[in-house]
């Protein structure tokens, strides 16, 4: 009989997408349930996944008394669910959303596993390090990681969806440059507001195509702006076939969420990373810096974005050899990153305990 594992996730797509990838890796060897909060619920196909809704509130000092009683209720709910369903293992993709489930799992002496997709140790994962069996990481150089728990690290390649391994990257060419602009699941207003004029200026000198993710309310006006200025464009908010858009791209302007960078990386798409300034412990900068150290991307601080982005795009178009070098470096970085290798590493470490 298969063991039962519960994968705890929620919040942004950066947490939920790795949870769905882990679900697919484990499905043949485990009965898998995914728990999420209301924010993460929208990213999950209810026909595909067994879902438990645990809507953990943010740990706000202002609402501390109310939150305490809600978390206590969710802890009790989690405890009886884990016991009733005879769950053997709990795997958290990070974030405060997992708090009630991991506490309940610990009380039931279940095996606890963690995933840290960022290059800075998350606060929730740090809190549960002493309780977990192992923590899956993308590097052994994670910032703020306590030395005494380094023996719990399992280094895996960045998790990407199965279809990304099967998709061929765009061949390099010297024709029209295809530029993808994506703000991640939370959107990026700085791209919506401060980029279109720079793209217009670049389009007067070079042939470019723009594929841009934006807010629903901004789609019509942005599409109109590009079309009226004879810039080939695709404007969208959410697309289930997003992989196709990435594979058609020469370069991407993006935030620096771990999942987005992993997906661009596996398809050998160099990127200009604009880390979110308010990200906890500056983890988006550290995510991007990992690729920058391997000469796979550029990093541009948000406060310099409007001033520098136009010049940066022009220099990239003029110096295609640098762009191609970054594509080659991404290919070298990922040459062993396959679905089978990731699958074997994950299952091997779960089965050891």
Per-10-residue mean pLDDT of the chain, 353 residues long, equals 94 90 96 95 93 84 70 94 97 92 96 96 94 96 95 96 82 79 72 90 96 90 96 88 89 94 95 88 92 97 94 95 95 92 94 78
Give dist(CA 316, CA 319) in Å, integer: 5
Using the 8-state DSSP alphabet, how is residue 171 labeled?
P
Helix, coil or strand: residue 301: coil
pLDDT at 286: 95
| CA-to-CA separations, 253 to 100, 186, 195, 264, 267, in angstroms, rounded | 37, 15, 10, 11, 15
Predicted TM-score (pTM) of the model is: 0.91
179 and 126 within one domain: no
pLDDT at 290: 95
148 and 262 within one domain: no
128 and 190 within one domain: no
Do 70 and 44 meet the contact criterion of CB atoms below 8 Å apart? no
Give dist(CA 247, CA 167) in Å, integer: 7
pLDDT at 13: 82
105 and 33 within one domain: yes
Do 210 and 313 meet the contact criterion of CB atoms below 8 Å apart? no
The CATH code of the domain that includes 255 is: 3.40.50.2000
346 and 326 within one domain: no
pLDDT at 184: 61
147 and 245 within one domain: no
224 and 123 within one domain: no
pLDDT at 170: 65
Task: Identify the domain containing residue 183 by its residue range.
Answer: 164-333
Length of the chain: 353
- Residue 339 token pair: 């679905």
Q: Map tokens 């990127």 to a residue.
A: 271
Please state the φ and ψ torsions of residue 91, each to the nearest 5 degrees.
-125, 120
217 and 174 within one domain: yes
How many domains, the chain? Answer: 2
150 and 255 within one domain: no
pLDDT at 62: 53
Count CB-CB contacts under 10 A for residue 78. Answer: 29
272 and 183 within one domain: yes
């Amino acid at each position: 009989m298969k063991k039962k594992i519960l994968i705890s996730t929620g919040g942004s797509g950066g947490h939920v997408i790795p949870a769905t990838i882990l679900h697919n890796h484990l499905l043949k060897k485990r009965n898998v349930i995914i728990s999420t909060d209301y924010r993460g619920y929208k990213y999950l196909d209810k026909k595909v996944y067994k879902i438990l809704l645990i809507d953990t509130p943010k740990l706000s000092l202002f609402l501390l008394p109310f939150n305490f009683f809600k978390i206590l209720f969710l802890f009790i709910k989690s405890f009886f669910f884990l016991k009733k369903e005879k769950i053997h293992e709990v795997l958290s993709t990070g974030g405060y959303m997992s708090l009630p489930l991991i506490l309940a799992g610990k009380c039931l002496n279940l095996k606890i596993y963690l995933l840290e997709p960022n290059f800075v140790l998350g606060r929730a994962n740090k809190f549960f390090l002493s309780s977990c069996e192992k923590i899956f990481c993308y590097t052994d150089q994670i910032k703020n990681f306590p030395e005494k728990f380094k023996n719990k690290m399992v280094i895996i390649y960045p998790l990407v969806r199965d279809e990304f391994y099967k998709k061929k990257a765009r061949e390099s060419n010297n024709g029209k440059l295809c530029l993808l602009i994506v703000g991640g699941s939370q959107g990026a207003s700085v791209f919506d507001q401060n980029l279109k004029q720079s793209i217009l200026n670049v389009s007067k000198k070079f042939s470019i195509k723009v594929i841009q993710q934006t807010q629903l309310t901004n789609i019509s006006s942005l599409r109109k702006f590009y079309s009226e200025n004879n810039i080939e464009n695709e404007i969208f908010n959410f697309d289930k076939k997003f992989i196709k858009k990435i594979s058609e791209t020469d370069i991407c302007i993006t935030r620096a969420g771990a999942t987005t960078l992993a997906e661009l990386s596996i398809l050998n798409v160099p990127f200009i990373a604009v880390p979110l300034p308010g990200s906890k412990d500056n983890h988006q900068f550290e995510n991007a810096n990992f690729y920058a150290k391997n000469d796979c991307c550029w990093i541009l601080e948000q406060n310099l974005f409007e001033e520098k982005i136009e010049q940066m795009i022009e220099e990239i178009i003029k110096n295609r050899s640098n762009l191609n070098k970054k594509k080659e470096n991404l290919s070298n970085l990922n040459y062993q990153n396959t679905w089978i290798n990731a699958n074997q590493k994950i299952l091997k470490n779960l089965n050891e305990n």
